[in-house]
Amino acid sequence: MGDFVNIFKIDDNSLNIANYYVRHNMLVAFPTETVYGLGCNALSDDAVKRVYAAKGRPIDNPLIVHLPMDADYSRYVYDNDLSLSLRKAFLPGPLTMVYKSKGVVSPLVSCGLDTLAIRVPSHKGAQRFLKYVDLPIAAPSANVSKHVSPVTAMHVYEDFGDKLPMILDGGRCDGGIESTVLDVTGDVPVILRKGLITAEMIKSVVGACQYAVDGDALNKRSPGTRYRHYCPKVPSTLFGADEVQKAVEYYGELKNSDKNPVILCTTEVAENLKGLNVIDLGNTGAVMANRLYAALRESENYDHLIGIRFVVEDEIALGVENRFLKAFG
Ligand code: AMP
Ligand code: MG
């Protein structure tokens, strides 16, 4: 890829180098079906410290451990029947499950919690990487803390440049928003973070599923949910789904004061805004999930982002709405 000396296609040669870096406790960014991850050896305190430092991530926001298909969970956590059924149904895929930890990986991964979050991504490049290095890989999203999550190798490069020894390029991520995080330590699974695997899908397999209620208890159980996330580096203003006219007037005001704003909205709304700078988010939850982060990054080519909220019509859209609102603070 021309000048981008640290971006590599995934092949035996690059995996061999990636393996060397991971085993020397350095960081390797890799693709998954949700977003790009910033991976490190989960067994090493030094390696995990590097992830927090590189991202500027608050040190009480725990990381997810990534394992290859058919990995032995019982090495790391106390397994249970509930999670076994869910694994059969949804893995590999965008479902992270939180277990009681056996304390085998670095304590910095879970920030001192007695639990451990594990995920088995379905992306072929991710699977090849995880199988090749054959170590548990702790990985948050591969963006500088608070910035928009990356869905291409170039997004990772935009945030870290040459500071990372290696970015494995597996193309654009399909899923687009992060995995569902599900606590399976109790009798009923509890969703800590909404994502592409929905409560309905989980219910259809194990009969029940709850959402953790926003607030202090959730912040303690899943500290990541407390922080500001997904912010583009331009000023932004959010309007309600029934405030399209107001949003257009505001766009006009910004234009008149020599600004170059852009409107982020659903396809339905976009069709009525011909002639304006518009980023079309799509109409269904799955499409919006796929487009959201690339859209937020694209908005950085303008100097003001105007968001118009959407009516949530399916469960994936609920996960998109959660990120969309956080992006506007
Ligand atoms: P990110 O790496 O940016 O996708 O964020 C990881 C998410 O997983 C955050 O929302 C964390 O709070 C959550 N998480 C990771 N480990 C745990 C754990 N042991 N218990 C609860 N939530 C976790
Ligand atoms: Mg993240």
At 80, which CATH number?
3.90.870.10
- The reply to whether 130 and 188 lie within a common domain is yes
Asked if the structure places residue 231 within a domain, the reply is no
- The reply to whether 120 and 50 lie within a common domain is yes
- The reply to whether 216 and 240 lie within a common domain is no
Q: List beta partners, residue 9.
A: 169
- The reply to whether 174 and 298 lie within a common domain is no
Name which of 253, 235, 227 is nearest 300 in CA terms. 235
Does 221 sit in the ligand 1 pocket, CB within 6 Å? yes
pLDDT at 2 over 60: no
The mean pLDDT of 209-226, rounded to a whole number, is: 73
DSSP assignment, residue 275? T
Minimal-distance CA residue to ligand 1 atom 1:
140
- The reply to whether 246 and 214 lie within a common domain is no
Q: Among the atoms of ligand 1, which is closest to the Cα of residue 139? A: 2
pLDDT at 297 over 80: yes
Instruction: Out of 193, 229, 326, give the residue to mutate to test ligand 1, the one with the largest number of ligand atoms within 8 Å of its CB.
Output: 193
- The reply to whether 296 and 183 lie within a common domain is no
Tally of domains within the chain = 2
Calpha distance 189→180 (Å, rounded): 12
Which ligand minimizes its atom distance to the CA of 100? 1
CA 296, 153, 288, 60 torsion: positive or negative? Answer: negative
Instruction: Out of 33, 60, 63, give the residue to mutate to test ligand 1, the one with the largest number of ligand atoms within 8 Å of its CB.
Output: 63
Name which of 247, 289, 244, 281 is nearest 264 in CA terms. 281
pLDDT in tens, 83-113: 999 999 999 999 999 999 999 999 999 999 9
Cβ pair 192, 179 in contact under 8 A = no
pLDDT in tens, 28-64: 999 999 999 999 999 999 999 999 999 999 999 999 9
- The reply to whether 188 and 288 lie within a common domain is no
Which ligand minimizes its atom distance to the CA of 145? 2
Instruction: Out of 35, 66, 115, 222, give the residue to mutate to test ligand 1, the one with the largest number of ligand atoms within 8 Å of its CB.
Output: 222
Residue 218: predicted pLDDT: 66
Q: Among the atoms of ligand 1, which is closest to the Cα of residue 229? A: 3
Domain at 268, CATH number: 3.40.50.11030
- The reply to whether 119 and 191 lie within a common domain is yes
Asked if the structure places residue 2 within a domain, the reply is no
If one compares 225 and 27, the residue with the highest pLDDT of the two is 27
Q: Which domain holds residue 98?
A: 7-221
| Alpha-carbon 162 to chain mean position | 22
Residue 138: predicted pLDDT: 98
Does 223 sit in the ligand 1 pocket, CB within 6 Å? yes
- The reply to whether 173 and 244 lie within a common domain is no
- The reply to whether 242 and 182 lie within a common domain is no
Does 225 sit in the ligand 1 pocket, CB within 6 Å? yes
> In sequence order, which ranges of 56-193 are alpha helices (DSSP H)?
81-90, 124-133, 153-160
Average pLDDT, the chain: 95
If one compares 143 and 229, the residue with the highest pLDDT of the two is 143
Cβ pair 43, 37 in contact under 8 A = no
Asked if the structure places residue 122 within a domain, the reply is yes
Asked if the structure places residue 226 within a domain, the reply is no
**Residue 74 CB partners (closer than 8 Å, separation 6+):** none
Minimal-distance CA residue to ligand 1 atom 23:
222
